[in-house]
Amino acid sequence: MPVDTRIRTVIVDDENHARDRLRQLLEPEADFELVDECANGRLAIAAIDRHSPDVVFLDVQMPRVDGFAVCRSITVSPPPLFVFVTAFDQHALRAFEVHAIDYLLKPFDRERFQQALSHVREQVRRARGGAADTRVAEMLAAWQKDRRRPDRLAFKADGKVVFVRVGDLDWAEADGNYVRLHTRAGTHHFRETLTALEQQLPAESFLRISRSQLVNVDRIKEVEPLFYGDATVVLHDGTKLSLSRHYRERLDQWLARPR
């Protein structure tokens, strides 16, 4: 039986034109077989589990389930290689370069794409020859350890990536499929869930006080008790937020921690 030398590939990006661009660039490459395209992280996880691809061209910043969550959810063995396709700037990408097989910084040209394909071919050749590269495992371990301590958050908005410093965030609230961030500089509105945002923030500094709100504990001035265990959280700028009794225990635990 002949050995299958094709490189099974999955494309993941929430923007249609970005997926179209990658598909068009891959079409002339006879050794790459596109087995699936995914418009979000949830579909990507299912596609990777179903197809066990050799490589995934993965957008880092996607709403709800981002590229990091996709990587953490991998169960197939061996795991695929990853080429990050991202709009992050060069400075932000330094955190990825040590562990990623390669990355493509949007917008990229055909020459840069060909360089990425060469890296993929080499890594696939090594893996199939029994010399699997350990950088994928190292990458996942590093993300698992460090991803919840970012200095800034990044969100897609109107085709751009907007960065928000964690230290500037006062509080956040859910707004349907969006989240509204209240910072010292103003308000931002992004397509994201409050739960996903909470997972990216340091637990020692940010506290969920209701199903729809979380707050930077350094901004809390006082807590005013109400009836039946509810309370009002007053921030230093005068903002008043509602503390649900179902989340009161979290605040009590935080207050009881040694300083």
pLDDT of residue 48: 94
**127 and 46 share a domain?**
yes
pLDDT of residue 141: 55
Instruction: Judge whether 60 and 88 are in contact, CB under 8 Å.
Output: yes
pLDDT of residue 134: 54
Q: For the chain, what is the domain count?
A: 2
Residue 2: inside a domain: no
- Distance CA(140)–CA(146), nearest Å, equals 10
| Last-in-domain residue among 97, 123, 146 | 146
pLDDT of residue 149: 53
**134 and 176 share a domain?**
no
Query: What residue ranges of the chain have pLDDT lower than 70?
Result: 1-4, 88-100, 129-150, 229, 255-259
**65 and 121 share a domain?**
yes
Residue 1: inside a domain: no
Q: Say what the pTM is.
A: 0.56
pLDDT of residue 8: 96
- Distance CA(130)–CA(128), nearest Å, equals 5
| Last-in-domain residue among 146, 167, 196 | 146
**140 and 166 share a domain?**
no
pLDDT of residue 193: 85
pLDDT of residue 16: 92
246 Rama sector, left if φ>0, alpha if ψ -120 to 50, beta otherwise: alpha
- Helical segments of 3-146, H only: 16-26, 41-51, 67-72, 90-97, 110-128, 135-146
Q: What is the DSSP string of 81-109?
A: EEEEEE---HHHHHHHHTT-SEEEESS--
Tell me which residue range forms the domain holding 24.
Answer: 7-146
Per-residue pLDDT tens over the stretch 186-202: 999 988 888 888 877 88
| Last-in-domain residue among 122, 146, 170 | 146
pLDDT of residue 62: 81
pLDDT of residue 44: 94
**126 and 179 share a domain?**
no
